Amino acid sequence: MHIYQEQKFNIPALAGISPEQLEIHLGLYAGYVKHVNLLREKIHDLQKTDTEKYAYAIAELRRRFSFEFNGMRMHEYYFEQFESGSTPLPSTSFGTDATSSSVKKSVSEKYGSWEKFIEHFKEVGMSRGIGWTVLYFDPKGNSSTGEPHTLWVGDHELGVLAGLPIVVALDMWEHAYMIDYKPAEKSKYIDAFLASINWKIAESRFAAA
């Protein structure tokens, strides 16, 4: 049976997100990896023992698996974005400028400008509850070049857009910011996140989509 391994991330000092916050958050991510493996092992063991007798238990473990797996994978998207430190994208261009950003072009076309996209992304991040703010890209969207979508994903698995590549993932569970910010200050955490990520990671994800 394949064993999922905890990934290691090369994260430098970040402005607005403390080393202590990152350390605790990375420890929580490790817990998701652990429980993904435990669930798979438990399901396997019950199937080997008596699939019919433990059918209900196996079904419940399978339902739990999506929560643990998405928790693992979403955190990998999240922490990867901090690697190599804060890196901005080139200026938006709708011409032939080879240095322009495809991400900026796409979201600017939908939301009106890069600034309006950032405003919308922050607004979604301020949704009540625990979950994620995710920038997806739909290559089969309404335009010939596809369409970006900014969505709220509850927990890790509720509201996921099936099959769409993730471009940016923002963790909005309290554990992501409670060391550095009070609940009423989560907008400051969103600002710190947006200022700290390496936008070239988002650009590479967009290109791969």
Angle between helix axes 102-111 and 114-125 (nearest 10 degrees) is 80
pLDDT band at 143 (very low <50, low <70, confident <90, very high): low
CA distances from 174 to 2, 131, 167, 177, 189 (A): 31, 9, 22, 6, 10
The whole-number average pLDDT for the span 9-37 is 97
Predicted confidence at residue 95, as pLDDT, reads 45
- pLDDT tens per residue across span 83-136: 999 999 876 544 444 447 899 999 999 999 999 999 999 999 999 999 999 999
**SS3 call for 30:** helix
Residue 148 predicted with pLDDT over 50: yes
